Chains A and B, each alone.
Chain A
Amino acid sequence: MDTETNGQNGEITGLKMDFLSSSALESSTSMEKVSMIVDRVKKGDLVVIEGGLTPEEEAELIETTMREIDVENFMGIDIYTVEKDKTSFFGLSRKKTVGMTIIGPANVMKEVKKKSNFISMIANMGDSDASLH
């Protein structure tokens, strides 16, 4: 797991989170995006992406995750999205779009409280927990 330790007793003290803007991913192919996410999450990182994945990318992400599952060490992923309003038709109509996608290892994302535009989670880091809002 890609986390920091305090060096004295090996206790986990930090969780690595990667924030990626939509422009950081726009030149990547779907396969590159999915590989990048799975590689990072498998190491224990939490990946936060501006915007969402396409349905096909989500299916590819689940499929790739299933290939990478190692029943002892990597049990898969959790994915959560935060929505935002998008105004269209000269401001006359609004629809929800994905503003942010959070993907992390299933054994780390311990508890999530979610509304459409708000998310709260506790990362399970062994003996010590970290809250993320």
Chain B
Amino acid sequence: MNLSRFFKPKFFQDILKKLLGKNKTLKIGFYGHPNSGKTTLANRMTTDWIGKPIGTVSQVPHETRKVYRQEHVTVKDEGVELNFDIIDTPGIATKIDYTNFLEFGLSESEAKERAKEATKGIIEAIKWLDDVTGVLLVIDATEDPLTQANITIMGNLEARNIPFIIVANKIDLEDAAPEKIDSVFPQHTVVSISALNGDNTKLLYRKMVDKFK
């Protein structure tokens, strides 16, 4: 029996990686409110790195009502690679009023069905908190960031020691105030972007490599 292969440094590195869980696939969850731009960002990222979008984007809230997963995305930054799966989750909210969907031209039965599906989507998104290894918390920079949903998501990530980046999205809009997000969460990494236009996404990729590698 050739014992020499057991003494190669790679053998010990592999054991160490397994013990530390480093061999597990990184699963980056996209979390946030409905309509904060999670799927737009996920689409931007998958288009930039693997050449195709992941999901459908709509003006109507709760467009994403189940979890979408894109495996094997690789982000490269100055020679460093980050390999991960994207987990695009439905927006988390504490309430769903089906009448809000009527404003977007849905019929009453379609609106009620959408509301029912949205409740299931929120449960699924919460369940995924047990399984993600990193999170991008996407916040609409035109809205108040101090909401219960955002606070609950952050509290759970901290309690579970899951690294996360706050993404202040929609900075292309006139009433965006990303500095407000910076000021209310000074202890966290905040990156201001426009997922729609791609503004500042390179900075986000760099921060992701730093935070999640």
List residues of chain A with CB under 8 Å of any chain B CB: 54-56, 58-59, 62-63, 65-67, 69, 71-72, 75-81, 106-107
Contacts and interface: CB of A to CB of B under 8 A. Distances in A.
Contacts of A107: 97
B59 interface: no
Contacts of A81: 148, 151
B200 interface: no
Overall SS of chain A's interface: mixed
B152 interface: yes
A17 B94 CA distance: 20
Contact of B95 (A56, A59, A63, A78): A78
A59 B157 CA distance: 11
Interface residues of B, number: 24
Given A59-B156, A62-B126, A65-B94, A79 B148 contact: yes
A55 B159 contact: yes
Interface of B: 92-98, 112, 115-116, 119-120, 122-123, 126, 129, 148-149, 151-152, 155-156, 158-159
B96 A69 contact: yes
Contact of A77 (B95, B98, B116): B95
B115 A71 contact: yes
Given A76-B94, A78-B95, A58 B155 contact: yes
Given A63-B126, A66-B123, A80-B148, A55 B94 contact: no
A63 B149 CA distance: 12
Counting chain B CB atoms within 10 Å of each CB, the highest count among A63, A72, A77, A80 belongs to: A63
A55 B159 CA distance: 7
B148 A59 contact: no
B159 A66 contact: no
5 contacts: A54-B159, A62-B92, A62-B126, A69-B115, A77-B95
A42 to B, nearest CB: 12
B152 A58 contact: yes
Given A76-B96, A78-B94, 10 more contacts: A56-B156, A63-B123, A66-B96, A67-B123, A69-B96, A69-B115, A75-B95, A76-B95, A77-B95, A107-B97
Nearest to B112: A71
Contact of A75 (B96, B148, B149, B152): B96
A54 B129 CA distance: 15
Contacts of A75: 95-98
Which of A67, A71, A72, A77 has the largest count of B CB atoms less than 10 A from its CB?
A: A71
